[in-house]
């Protein structure tokens, strides 16, 4: 025997499949073949009838929860919103809605619910649900969003693990404005007289982990980070939050955009597939109540490659449309101008009718770090545009040539001292590399059919609102 081997007795047990908690979730109970069970959850609704009463109990583990059958006396104890423990027999259900139901023989109310409970069984507007953010996950939309959010993160992690990327963490506090947009939140200790006192320099909440991810990719080759990012966006749109989550991948040893687009497409498609495979009830719910084309659109998007076109080609397409109808777009479609949401939507929703990569934008429209193309006018970058949503991903090859990068930074009037480490990466074994960032809440709009990013993050923050 190998003398370094750990004796069996001291080896850690595998907890991979065994739950360590005393109670089982409703999702698991419904799958197992148990007879007598105990269910814990919150009462969604109670229907009191003469002979028997019905209650729906939900613990967040699935969409429908479980239907409980009780006598009239027991049903008096249950009110919508109460937290309960029900014991009884799990029996085959005669109804079509669920395969099993709970014949209750014992009730314990763990937490009573006041009659002012605002979430009654009826349709509420998204605005109202947002105003009760501490309770909205007790409803179908709020809880389905959280399960899809979870499945999407799982899909992302599976994809990157399979592609041999390392998950890393980039700082939240930073002294850089990666995107150069000036939409940064400044950090100051509450009792500080001088805004720069604590760090002896201005420090902000990060707008992107990219520059730090580049440090790690310069040693580990393939990294990704998944964390909160912050932008002091003044615009009140359905696509912008002040705090949102971004998945950022950075990879060394790619020579041009094509492998970067392949990885981006793979990550979006595999995540979508994972959600389709693991959240079928939730997606069916969104398909029925939110967006009737959801399932068809998602299946179509994982079946075929996304369209790829250059910015120059996109401008040609838009100009042809404008030639036919000069009022079609509000903003100009001349080469060199930004693609506005109306243009992005036209390209993805009408022209391609599927996700489309637009690549190689004019250098003047993009941040300093993007790699200059041979033509001297454009940079090796891309946006991924989705039908109905617009931009989901932004990414690029990074300028890895010291002299060219230094010049770009000087032209952008950046503080060279602050970014010396970024330039140093180009001095000490510079590698051709690139990366991208997926706006996680926008991905969730795609996966649920919901229309506003405020609906797909548990506690949304936007200009003028930071409740809960």
Query: Does the footprint of ligand 4AD cover residue 460 (CB under 6 A)?
Result: no
Query: Does the footprint of ligand 4AD cover residue 360 (CB under 6 A)?
Result: no
Report the site for ligand 4AD in 398-457 (rule: CB under 6 A). 435-437, 439, 441-442, 453
78 Cβ contact partners less than 8 Å away, ≥ 6 residues apart: 43, 46, 55, 70, 84, 107, 109
89 Cβ contact partners less than 8 Å away, ≥ 6 residues apart: 35, 36, 37, 102, 103, 105
Binding mask 316-355 for ligand 4AD (x = CB under 6 A): ----------------------------------------
Please give the DSSP secondary-structure letter assigned to residue 3.
T
Nearer to ligand 4AD, 355 or 439 (CB): 439
DSSP-derived pairing of the beta strands 204-205 and 173-174: antiparallel
Query: Does the footprint of ligand 4AD cover residue 241 (CB under 6 A)?
Result: yes
Element (H, E) at 109: strand 100-111
Cα–Cα separations (whole angstroms), residue 92 to 46, 54, 86: 20, 15, 17
Residue 236: strand, helix, or coil = coil
379 phi, psi to nearest 5 deg: -120, 155
- Minimum gap (Å) between residue 214 Cβ and ligand 4AD: 9
- Minimum gap (Å) between residue 23 Cβ and ligand 4AD: 37
Output the six-digit token pair for 445.
């709009």
Whether the Cβ atoms of residue 323 and residue 332 lie closer than 8 Å to each other: no
Query: Does the footprint of ligand 4AD cover residue 41 (CB under 6 A)?
Result: no
Query: Does the footprint of ligand 4AD cover residue 276 (CB under 6 A)?
Result: no
- Minimum gap (Å) between residue 436 Cβ and ligand 4AD: 5
Window contacting ligand 4AD (CB under 6 A); options: 32-40, 155-163, 238-246, 337-345: 238-246
Tell me the helices (H) and strands (E) count for the chain, helix number first: 13, 15
Report the site for ligand 4AD in 171-190 (rule: CB under 6 A). 178-179
| Total residues in contact with ligand 4AD, by rule CB under 6 A | 23
Q: In angstroms, rounded to a whole number, what is the distance separating the alpha carbons of residues 466 and 459?
A: 8
Nearer to ligand 4AD, 22 or 182 (CB): 182
CA nearest to 128, candidates 463, 461, 350, 455? 455
Please give the DSSP secondary-structure letter assigned to residue 24.
P
Window contacting ligand 4AD (CB under 6 A); options: 20-28, 118-126, 141-149, 393-401: 393-401
Q: In angstroms, rounded to a whole number, what is the distance separating the alpha carbons of residues 450 and 145?
A: 9
Query: Does the footprint of ligand 4AD cover residue 208 (CB under 6 A)?
Result: yes
Window contacting ligand 4AD (CB under 6 A); options: 3-11, 13-21, 244-252, 288-296: 244-252
Nearer to ligand 4AD, 68 or 252 (CB): 252
Report the site for ligand 4AD in 373-392 (rule: CB under 6 A). 391-392
Our CA angle for 77, 79, 80, nearest 5°, is: 155
Q: In angstroms, rounded to a whole number, what is the distance separating the alpha carbons of residues 424 and 283?
A: 47
- Minimum gap (Å) between residue 312 Cβ and ligand 4AD: 20
Q: How many CB atoms lie within 10 A of CB 64?
A: 16
Sign of the dihedral defined by the CA atoms of residues 235, 240, 246, 247, in that order: negative
Query: Does the footprint of ligand 4AD cover residue 298 (CB under 6 A)?
Result: no
Nearer to ligand 4AD, 59 or 441 (CB): 441
Nearer to ligand 4AD, 59 or 383 (CB): 383
Query: Does the footprint of ligand 4AD cover residue 247 (CB under 6 A)?
Result: no
CA nearest to 395, candidates 362, 366, 375? 366
- Minimum gap (Å) between residue 217 Cβ and ligand 4AD: 11
Window contacting ligand 4AD (CB under 6 A); options: 36-44, 73-81, 86-94, 242-250: 242-250
Whether the Cβ atoms of residue 286 and residue 448 lie closer than 8 Å to each other: yes
- Minimum gap (Å) between residue 422 Cβ and ligand 4AD: 13
- Minimum gap (Å) between residue 229 Cβ and ligand 4AD: 7
Show the 3-state SS of 284-299: HHHHHHCCCCHHHHHH
Nearer to ligand 4AD, 244 or 361 (CB): 244
Query: Does the footprint of ligand 4AD cover residue 291 (CB under 6 A)?
Result: no
Binding site for ligand 4AD (CB under 6 A): 178-179, 208, 210, 231, 233, 240-241, 244, 246, 248, 391-395, 435-437, 439, 441-442, 453
């Amino acid at each position: 025997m190998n003398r370094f081997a750990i004796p069996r007795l001291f080896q850690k047990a595998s907890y991979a499949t065994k739950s360590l908690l005393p109670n089982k979730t409703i999702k698991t109970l419904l799958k197992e073949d148990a007879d007598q069970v105990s269910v814990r959850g919150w009462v969604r609704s109670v229907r009191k009838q003469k002979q028997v009463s019905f209650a729906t109990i939900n613990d967040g583990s699935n969409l429908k929860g479980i239907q409980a059958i009780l006598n009239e006396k027991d049903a008096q104890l249950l009110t919508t919103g109460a937290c309960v423990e029900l014991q009884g027999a799990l029996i085959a259900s005669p109804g079509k809605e669920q395969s099993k139901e709970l014949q209750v023989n014992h009730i314990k109310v763990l937490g009573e619910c006041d009659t002012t409970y605002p979430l009654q069984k009826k349709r509420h507007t998204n605005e109202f649900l947002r105003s009760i953010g501490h309770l909205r996950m007790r409803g179908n939309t709020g809880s389905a969003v959280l399960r899809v959010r979870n499945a999407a993160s799982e899909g992302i992690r599976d994809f990157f693990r399979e592609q041999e990327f390392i998950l890393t963490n980039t700082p939240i506090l930073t002294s850089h404005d990666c995107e150069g947009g000036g939409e940064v939140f400044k950090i100051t200790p509450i009792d500080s007289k001088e805004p720069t006192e604590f760090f002896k320099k201005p420090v902000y909440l990060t707008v992107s982990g990219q520059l730090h991810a580049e440090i790690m990719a310069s040693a580990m080759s393939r990294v990704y980070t998944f964390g909160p990012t912050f932008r002091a966006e003044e615009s009140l749109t359905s696509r912008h939050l002040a705090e949102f989550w971004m998945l950022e991948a950075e990879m060394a040893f790619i020579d041009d955009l094509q492998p970067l687009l392949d990885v981006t497409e793979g990550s979006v498609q595999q995540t979508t597939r994972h959600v389709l495979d693991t959240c079928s009830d939730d997606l069916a719910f969104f398909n029925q109540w939110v967006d009737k084309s959801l399932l068809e659109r998602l299946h179509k998007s994982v079946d075929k490659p996304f369209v790829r076109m250059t910015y120059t080609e996109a401008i040609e397409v838009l100009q042809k449309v404008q030639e036919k109808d000069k009022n079609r777009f509000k903003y100009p479609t001349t080469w060199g101008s930004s693609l506005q949401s109306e243009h992005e939507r036209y390209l993805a929703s009408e022209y391609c009718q599927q996700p489309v990569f637009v690549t190689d934008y004019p250098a003047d429209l993009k941040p300093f770090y993007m790699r200059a193309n041979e033509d001297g006018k454009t940079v090796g970058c891309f946006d991924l545009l989705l039908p109905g949503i617009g931009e989901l991903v932004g990414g690029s090859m990074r300028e890895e040539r010291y002299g060219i990068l230094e010049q770009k930074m000087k032209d952008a009037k950046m503080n060279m001292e602050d970014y010396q480490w970024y330039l140093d990466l180009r001095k000490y074994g510079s590698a051709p590399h690139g990366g991208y960032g997926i706006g996680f809440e926008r991905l969730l709009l795609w996966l649920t059919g919901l229309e506003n990013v405020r609906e797909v993050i548990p506690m949304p923050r936007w200009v003028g609102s930071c409740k809960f």
